[in-house]
């Protein structure tokens, strides 16, 4: 047997005397860890697959639209747009499924596995925690709604028969309408999804609740619509449609005629009030659920 020639060093413990951030850095760290978890980064491929699949589906219409425009750019036929910028906002149910999948995943395990007790032993408050989760999920929803729109815009601009500059000039309003409408959608989905997910520690219950609340409200609105003599105002119970009303107000300045709420005067104001109420109640619920760390 050969004699051991290596030396084992007990490095002991080294105190840390480097820089330390404050509340802002802690919130940013929580946002980053939430983003990693939501996208499955540093997790198994199974945990990456669904989020990226759903987000990939969101981008398909943009890619198809640009592809068609590219292929037909020299064709004498009228160009075909399979989707408009307005129609793209809230178009895909993939985003909704993404929220139902990810919002529970970034909140429920922290509570179920009692990881919150370690988080709140740091210089971070319940409000910080809730806002970091909201920022991360809202940011993701914004990015994955906004980027395909930009792909669509830049692609259309580059393949435009009349030149890129003409396209840019004709569609300049889109450059503010899209981010505003997408931000309103992202805030709505993130706030509602996280609020519902914060009410339970079980992911499956939370995900089902998110989809259930939205679909049930839509169904109730449908029943009310079918009943005789109901006011168009009852359409606001369909909370699934509220971000679409906001989208129309941003792009058109009024509700689209396809929505029954547009039949009444003040329908737009009512839609805004309902949107604000849902977001407000969601945020209040979310903050209330993590208030205990402030006690």
The site for another protein (CB under 8 A) is made up of 11-16, 18-23, 25-26, 29-30, 32-33, 42-43, 47, 109-110, 113-115, 117-125, 292-293, 295
How near is the Cβ of 258 to another protein at its closest, in Å?
A: 44
SS3 215: helix
Q: Which is nearer to another protein, 47 or 218 (CB)?
A: 47
Written as six digits, the tokens of 57 are: 């589906």
Question: DSSP E strands: which ranges in 71-204?
Answer: none
Q: Which is nearer to another protein, 23 or 73 (CB)?
A: 23
Q: Which is nearer to another protein, 124 or 147 (CB)?
A: 124
How many other CB atoms are there within 10 angstroms of residue 61's CB atom? 18
Q: What are the CA-CA distances from residue 158 to residues 3, 67, 134, 150, 163 (Å)?
A: 71, 11, 35, 12, 7
Q: Which is nearer to another protein, 115 or 288 (CB)?
A: 115
Residue 148: name the closest of 36, 49, 50, 54 by CA. Answer: 54
Q: Which is nearer to another protein, 15 or 76 (CB)?
A: 15
* Rounded Cα distance, 143 and 13, in Å: 42
* Rounded Cα distance, 280 and 189, in Å: 12
CA-based torsion, 127, 129, 132, 133: positive or negative:
negative
* Rounded Cα distance, 19 and 145, in Å: 37
Q: Quick check: 71 and 176 in contact, CB under 8 A?
A: no
Q: Which is nearer to another protein, 177 or 198 (CB)?
A: 198
Q: Quick check: 73 and 159 in contact, CB under 8 A?
A: yes
Written as six digits, the tokens of 184 are: 């309103």
Q: Which is nearer to another protein, 84 or 117 (CB)?
A: 117
How near is the Cβ of 50 to another protein at its closest, in Å?
A: 15
Q: Which is nearer to another protein, 2 or 7 (CB)?
A: 7
How near is the Cβ of 131 to another protein at its closest, in Å?
A: 14
How near is the Cβ of 190 to another protein at its closest, in Å?
A: 21
How near is the Cβ of 47 to another protein at its closest, in Å?
A: 8
How near is the Cβ of 20 to another protein at its closest, in Å?
A: 4
How near is the Cβ of 136 to another protein at its closest, in Å?
A: 13
How near is the Cβ of 117 to another protein at its closest, in Å?
A: 5
Q: What are the CA-CA distances from residue 175 to residues 73, 153, 154, 160, 167 (Å)?
A: 23, 9, 11, 17, 12
């Amino acid at each position: 047997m050969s004699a051991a020639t290596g030396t084992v060093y007990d490095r002991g413990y080294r105190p840390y005397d480097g820089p330390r951030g404050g509340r802002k850095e802690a919130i940013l760290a929580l946002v980053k860890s939430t983003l990693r978890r939501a996208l499955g980064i540093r997790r198994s491929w199974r945990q990456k697959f669904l989020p990226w699949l759903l987000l990939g589906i969101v981008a398909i219409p943009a890619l198809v639209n640009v592809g068609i425009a590219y292929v037909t750019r020299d064709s004498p036929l009228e160009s075909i747009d399979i989707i408009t910028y307005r129609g793209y906002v809230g178009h895909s149910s993939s985003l909704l499924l993404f929220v139902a999948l990810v919002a529970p995943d970034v909140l429920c395990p922290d509570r179920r596995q009692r990881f919150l007790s370690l988080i709140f032993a740091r210089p971070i408050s319940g409000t910080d925690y809730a806002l970091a989760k909201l920022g991360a999920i809202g940011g993701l929803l914004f990015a994955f709604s906004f980027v395909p729109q930009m792909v669509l815009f830049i692609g259309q601009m580059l393949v435009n028969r009349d030149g890129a500059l003409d396209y840019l000039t004709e569609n300049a309003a889109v450059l503010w309408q899209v981010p505003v409408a997408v931000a309103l959608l992202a805030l709505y989905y993130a706030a509602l999804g996280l609020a519902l997910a914060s009410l339970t520690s079980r992911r499956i219950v939370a995900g089902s609740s998110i989809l259930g609340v939205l679909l049930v409200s839509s169904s109730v609105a449908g029943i009310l619509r079918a009943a005789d003599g109901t006011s168009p105002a009852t359409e606001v119970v369909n909370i699934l449609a509220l971000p679409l009303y906001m989208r129309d107000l941003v792009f058109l300045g009024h509700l689209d005629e396809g929505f029954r709420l547009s039949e009444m005067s003040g329908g737009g104001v009512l839609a805004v009030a309902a949107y604000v109420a849902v977001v407000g109640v969601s945020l209040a619920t979310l903050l209330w659920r993590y208030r205990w760390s402030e006690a």
